[in-house]
Amino acid sequence: MKVRQLSDSKGLSYLHLVMLSLYAILLGVLVGLIDAVFGRVLIGLSEFRDHHLFYLVPVLPLAGLLIVYLYQKFAGKAAQGMGLIFKVGHNEEDQVPLRLIPLVTVTTWLTHLFGGSAGREGVAVQLGATVSHAFSRYFKLPNASCIFLTMGMAAGFGGLFQTPIAATFFSLEVLTLGQLSLPILVPTLIASFMASTTSHLLGLEKFSHFVSKSLTIDLETFMKLALLGLAFGLAGNLFAYLLSLAKKKVASLLPNPYYRVLLGGVVLTCLLLILCKGRYTGLGTNLIALSVDGGTIYPLDWLFKLLLTVFTLSLGFQGGEVTPLFAIGASLGAVLAPILGLPISLVAGLGYLSVFGSSTNTLLAPIFIGIEVFGPANAIPYAIVMAFAYLINHKTSIYGQQKMLEMQ
């Protein structure tokens, strides 16, 4: 893995790093505050929806019309969402409009209130990146745009999920496959920790399920973990491939975004209500809890959640992909664990982190997610599973603007 040089050949000076670290404290507090508001409102709306499911989910197509109208009327470049963040990170664009913050926040709330199957991390990353990038113009640093964007992404991810180390490495490795932005490791870590601490103090709860018993690694267990890694890698890449394909196919079949979200929203509403009475609405945290706690998980839960999330996002509803990916991986793990004779909670955790990793083409971030969410006792199994999941096709990612390092 190559270290990405974010500045000129002389690199960042210690003075630059001190300045960035002090700024990271302010950034983390600010983004943590925004994450706390966004996250707590989202949780409240999701709980309200679960109690009034059959009244709210039928309104989803109308909510979709409002979402499309808001984006058509006000978005401009912000309509590119995570694509714009990646373009700025690659110096293909030089501005992230501040209107992205209220726009993506409100439309994601609408998606979840009325039952769309979507995530939230894309919103948090966009929020953090937008806030941080707005300050880059005030610092005379080489390649300040990319530096501040990376720090903001880490703060946004860390503040929402409260996994600051994972968030740090996610932002450092996700822009270009095979590279790490290590010159700004320390300020990025500070921003992530400050955001995580701030959101926690403001009442945003972290999901964690510590698995205290470590798995003994012998040849048989290693082979089982390798098979799991390949299975989870295929699931993650299936999600990324279908999401890219569905967006193109749906747009070609229904080029008018209003017809697309209205007609597709009607079909989506029917599917969400028919399939286990709303089991696959929202983030998918219900599936995660059932998986790690040994609850009832059906063999096709992971596939239904995958397909419905792809359909939701392809129609124009807003949100991220990561929490549904966690749910897909955890529920698939709960199905595979008895077949391989491994603990269900552990394999659910392995699926949780590795389906995310394979669909985002990240390696270190998912390993640290495992450590921060499920505890360090099984760090070696996390690494083994991710190593094999990482083998699967690197050309497919939920982030279409992600670039691959060219081999010298």
Please compute the mean of the pLDDT values over residues 74-82 and round it to a whole number: 87
265 and 158 together in one domain: no
Domain that holds residue 50: 2-201
Asked whether the predicted pLDDT for residue 326 surpasses 90, the reply is: yes
- Looking at residue 327, which CATH number applies to its domain? 1.10.3080.10
Contact 385, 354 (CB under 8 A): yes
230 and 156 together in one domain: no
pLDDT on residue 105: 95
Question: What separation in angstroms does the CA of 210 have from each of 81, 213, 356?
Answer: 34, 9, 19
**Is residue 31 situated within a structural domain?**
yes
**Is residue 212 situated within a structural domain?**
no
Reading the block at residue 172, the tokens are 């450092």
Tell me: the pLDDT tens digits for 215-261? 999 999 999 999 999 999 999 999 999 999 999 999 999 999 999 99
pLDDT on residue 33: 97
Tell me: the pLDDT tens digits for 12-22? 788 889 999 99
225 and 183 together in one domain: no
User: For residue 177, what are the β-bridge partners?
Assistant: 404
pLDDT on residue 407: 44
Residue partners of 194: CB distance under 8 A and separation at least 6: 24, 25, 27, 28, 29, 32, 155
Residue partners of 127: CB distance under 8 A and separation at least 6: 31, 34, 35, 38, 101, 104, 105, 156
Of 170, 201, 232, the last residue of a domain is: 201
**Is residue 210 situated within a structural domain?**
no
Residue partners of 83: CB distance under 8 A and separation at least 6: 399, 400, 401
Residue partners of 155: CB distance under 8 A and separation at least 6: 24, 27, 28, 31, 32, 128, 131, 132, 167, 191, 192, 194, 195
Asked whether the predicted pLDDT for residue 296 surpasses 70, the reply is: yes
**Is residue 214 situated within a structural domain?**
no
231 and 325 together in one domain: yes
pLDDT on residue 254: 95
- Give the integer Cα–Cα distance in Å for 107 and 175: 25
Tell me: the pLDDT tens digits for 176-192? 887 888 889 999 999 99
Please compute the mean of the pLDDT values over residues 313-333 and round it to a whole number: 96
261 and 346 together in one domain: yes
Of 201, 235, 255, the last residue of a domain is: 201
pLDDT on residue 10: 43
230 and 352 together in one domain: yes
400 and 263 together in one domain: yes
pLDDT on residue 402: 83
User: Domain tally for the chain?
Assistant: 2
Contact 36, 42 (CB under 8 A): no
* Three-class DSSP labels, 329-392: HHHHHHHHHHHHCCCHHHHHHHHHHHHHHHHHCCCHHHHHHHHHHHCHHHHHHHHHHHHHHCCC
Polymer length in residues for the chain: 408
99 and 46 together in one domain: yes
Percent of the chain exceeding pLDDT 70 equals 96
Amino acid letter at 367? I
Cβ–Cβ contacts within 10 Å for residue 137, how many? 12
Residue with structure tokens 């945003």? 204
Tell me: the pLDDT tens digits for 305-322? 999 999 999 999 999 899
Of 150, 171, 201, the last residue of a domain is: 201
pLDDT on residue 2: 57
169 and 277 together in one domain: no
Mean pLDDT (the chain) is 92
- The DSSP code for 160 is H
Please give the distance of CA 17 from its chain centroid, rounded to a whole number. 28
Please compute the mean of the pLDDT values over residues 194-219 and round it to a whole number: 94
Please compute the mean of the pLDDT values over residues 91-113 and round it to a whole number: 91
pLDDT on residue 9: 32
Asked whether the predicted pLDDT for residue 5 surpasses 80, the reply is: no
At 4, is the pLDDT very low, low, confident or very high (cuts 50, 70, 90)? low
**Is residue 100 situated within a structural domain?**
yes
Please compute the mean of the pLDDT values over residues 138-149 and round it to a whole number: 83
Please compute the mean of the pLDDT values over residues 192-197 and round it to a whole number: 98
230 and 107 together in one domain: no
**Is residue 7 situated within a structural domain?**
yes
171 and 229 together in one domain: no
Range of weakest confidence among 85-89, 203-207, 323-327, 380-384: 85-89
Range of weakest confidence among 80-89, 111-120, 234-243: 80-89
Asked whether the predicted pLDDT for residue 349 surpasses 90, the reply is: yes
**Is residue 206 situated within a structural domain?**
no
pTM metric for this prediction: 0.94
**Is residue 300 situated within a structural domain?**
yes
274 and 142 together in one domain: no
pLDDT on residue 365: 97
Cβ–Cβ contacts within 10 Å for residue 75, how many? 18
Asked whether the predicted pLDDT for residue 98 surpasses 70, the reply is: yes
pLDDT on residue 318: 94
pLDDT on residue 164: 97
Who wins on pLDDT, 315 or 122?
315
